[in-house]
Amino acid sequence: MKQIDGGITAVPGVRAAGVHAGIKAADTKDVALIVTDTPAPAAGVFTKNSVTAAPVIVCREHLSDGRAQAVIVNSGNANACTGEVGMANAQQMAASTAAQLGIDADLVLVSSTGVIGQQLPMDKIENGIQAAASALSPEAGADAAEAIMTTDTHPKSVAVEIEIRGTPVRIGGIAKGSGMGAPNMATMLSYLTTDARINPQTLQTALNRVVDDTYNLLTIDTDRSTNDTVILLATGHANNVDIVAAAGENYEMFCEGLQFVCTELVKMLARDGEGATKLVEVQVIRAKNRSDAENAARAVAESPLVKTAIFGNDANWGRIMMAIGKSEAEFDPYQVNVYLENYQLVKDGMDAGYDENRATALLAQDSVLITIDLCAGDTEITMWTCDYSYDYIRINADYRT
Amino acid sequence: MKQIDGGITAVPGVRAAGVHAGIKAADTKDVALIVTDTPAPAAGVFTKNSVTAAPVIVCREHLSDGRAQAVIVNSGNANACTGEVGMANAQQMAASTAAQLGIDADLVLVSSTGVIGQQLPMDKIENGIQAAASALSPEAGADAAEAIMTTDTHPKSVAVEIEIRGTPVRIGGIAKGSGMGAPNMATMLSYLTTDARINPQTLQTALNRVVDDTYNLLTIDTDRSTNDTVILLATGHANNVDIVAAAGENYEMFCEGLQFVCTELVKMLARDGEGATKLVEVQVIRAKNRSDAENAARAVAESPLVKTAIFGNDANWGRIMMAIGKSEAEFDPYQVNVYLENYQLVKDGMDAGYDENRATALLAQDSVLITIDLCAGDTEITMWTCDYSYDYIRINADYRT
């Protein structure tokens, strides 16, 4: 596996565009379009929030046959809590994009991210769709990555080339955060492309599996948006033997590549969380089972007290013990070990006699790994988050005003 | 029901003390002692965190017969994650207090609050116990309220006189926060006294019920400490007809008084949450059931995005919709109504056409009531929390260093 340039357009058969349509106040790109040259096997994973934005409902409908050919995205407005008008507008985005591309509307997926509760400015959206269709290019993956941003401080893009039985296959992806709860209140969006030959059902199974181990283990501030969306399109331009079932070596190779791309994007999202000064990886090892591992890791990764201590470079391991204790994971408190970058802070649930200055220095890095050994089984998990800084408060206290 | 002065020592048969023993660095009181004149029916509710501090384990043992005569409390050190030495020290605190008072050690309850993972300075603790025993007074409730504080900015104390079939009965209480996760990492502590004649089982049932509707609906930052403790002692000095069962008018009158005392203390705790600039009451009405009501209220009260918006006086109702949507409560998003101090922001899940300036003015008060009408049933609940400010980060990023 090797990393390559080009993001989503590193994949043959994919064109993209990112244009400025004036939906966001700033003079920045705010409409993205991603198109495959033919109708492609497509898979999606969407927010579980019961207050579901209109575009997510349209995506679910249009993905029911496992095929799609285009994704149209606007930033600056989430089209959530917008009622029937909002639904009609989301459908209109698909219809207008389809008309521009000369394809069926149900081959078009739709995303929106931005403020909740306001209707889309449809005149600007229509102009944006037209401009994006004209700008489509097999080199414009970076423009699309830029156009989907809200408060992200930089675009997020990655691509790899893997080999499936000697045949090169490409997987590319872009994502925006910056937090499940961006100040815009919406959204984590990610679009993935591949030229693998793979059928829709297997593509969806692979995406579900990888999302469970990546995007679903990302937490910025516990909030989950109304618009979260991950979409994967497969152009089939590669010459690999068709992957027709979710088993076997070819499938595993594909999942490994997809896992790499998504993990890299998730780390970029965590590191660029609102106000974040560092990436925090929380690894739980020797948990009794997956659910205990995830609960313990989540309790630590979401604890405001842990996150503020990390911001302050304070190796306050008592807060980690508190967090796993409230998680309902099963373990013996007096068997727990805690490490910071493999340096032991806690031994058998008590102070390991570590050096405070060394711990502080380890925390002062721009990437921090906390390992929690529960001594209760053989399951492990890694979650990704960031610290809580003054800027998190500043960004979120003042967003709309 | 009328409020009276004196806190826990407003109750006949109760003496208290609060002294400085040098456990905390600052020159402040750090050992509290509460004593009843005879062994009293006693009830307790303790943290559900599986990393349980030694004093909590001692309390559970000593309360097994439903009787107690004294509570000894130190602040400045939580005696949590301290292993066998910590257990022995907690037992020693009970034994030393018992020796000073000339009573059995199993009549003494123990609490500690402060830093996790360090052993208690037992010489200072012993001196503190001796000093507190000498200082016991039926007027010193305020000293005890002060001695249990960690980062609280002021002591919290309340007392009422109720009538049970014409007979006056008193209930008093003190509490400290300031947050389930104080920077000290520990703890919410509350001690309640009453002169009601009531048997231990009924006292415990009443306490469980009231704690469920008060302390368990308080959330500062989602973290739950290793030491959380609520204890209620009943001296029996009042002349009310014995309350011998958890039913009937006398029992209900007692619960109502207890509920008032605990609600007042919980509001004080929320308002004095770390870095808080205002008290926030989150009321969910017309939920399908208690669990849905609590889940929805908790999702709003614990959302960092909601809490930072309230700090910024930003009526960002989209974040409230997002929070209830992720709560797993059942409701139709397009039937939800949201009010700020009875002023409607959201009607049928969409913008009610409210005036932004008026909403901002309502949020700028030092106490904010958010009402969320789920239109899904007839259950309601109120939770108490505070906003998230820069000071929350400052206090918690720098605590130990």
| Mean pLDDT, residues B362-379 taken together | 97
Which one-letter amino acid corresponds to residue A176?
K
Q: Is the pLDDT of residue A209 over 50?
A: yes
Locate the chain B residue with the closest alpha carbon to A313. Answer: B397
| Mean pLDDT, residues A156-176 taken together | 97
DSSP 8-state class, residue B335: G
In which band, very low, low, confident or very high, does the pLDDT at B399 lie, cut at 50, 70 and 90?
Answer: low
Instruction: Tell me the pTM.
Output: 0.88
Other CB atoms within a 10 A radius of the CB of residue B364 amount to 11
Nearest to A115 among B304, B308, B318 (CB): B318
Q: What is the pLDDT of residues B161-207, one digit of tens each?
A: 999 999 999 999 999 986 544 334 447 899 999 999 999 999 999 99
Q: What is the pLDDT of residues B314-352, one digit of tens each?
A: 898 988 998 999 898 999 999 999 999 999 999 999 999
Nearest to A223 among B304, B333, B390 (CB): B304
Q: Is the pLDDT of residue A271 over 50?
A: yes
- Chain A partners within 8 Å of B400 (Cβ): 309, 314, 316
On whether the CB atoms of residues A116 and A81 are closer than 8 A, the answer is yes
Q: Is the pLDDT of residue A182 over 50?
A: no
DSSP 8-state class, residue B7: G
Distance set, CA A245 to CA A65, A204, B20, B68, B267 (Å): 17, 11, 71, 66, 58
Residue tagged active-site, from A36, A82, A150, A187: A187
Other CB atoms within a 10 A radius of the CB of residue A330 amount to 16
Q: Which residues contact B313 (CB under 8 A, 6 or more apart)?
A: A401, B360, B363, B364
State the Cα–Cα distance between residues A314 and A318, nearest whole angstrom.
11
In which band, very low, low, confident or very high, does the pLDDT at A93 lie, cut at 50, 70 and 90?
Answer: very high
In which band, very low, low, confident or very high, does the pLDDT at A393 lie, cut at 50, 70 and 90?
Answer: confident
Nearest to B308 among A83, A225, A397 (CB): A397
Which one-letter amino acid corresponds to residue A53?
A
Interchain proximity A304–B360, CB inside 8 Å? no
Handedness of CA A71, A76, A81, A85 (dihedral sign): negative
Which contiguous run of DSSP H or E holds residue B50? none
State the Cα–Cα distance between residues B332 and B348, nearest whole angstrom.
9
What pLDDT is stored for residue B187 in this prediction? 72
Interchain proximity B319–A185, CB inside 8 Å? yes
State the Cα–Cα distance between residues A159 and B192, nearest whole angstrom.
62
Query: Which position has the token pair 């007692």?
Result: B254
Q: Is the pLDDT of residue A157 over 60?
A: yes
Distance set, CA A395 to CA A268, A390, B309 (Å): 19, 9, 10
Which one-letter amino acid corresponds to residue A337?
N
Q: Is the pLDDT of residue A112 over 80?
A: yes
State the Cα–Cα distance between residues B223 and A180, nearest whole angstrom.
20
On whether the CB atoms of residues A150 and A29 are closer than 8 A, the answer is no
Instruction: Catalogue the E-assigned strands of B177-275.
Output: 189-194, 229-234
Minimum distance, in Å, between the CA of residue B249 and any CA atom of chain A: 37
Task: Enter the tokens of residue A352.
Answer: 């390991």
Handedness of CA B253, B257, B258, B260 (dihedral sign): positive
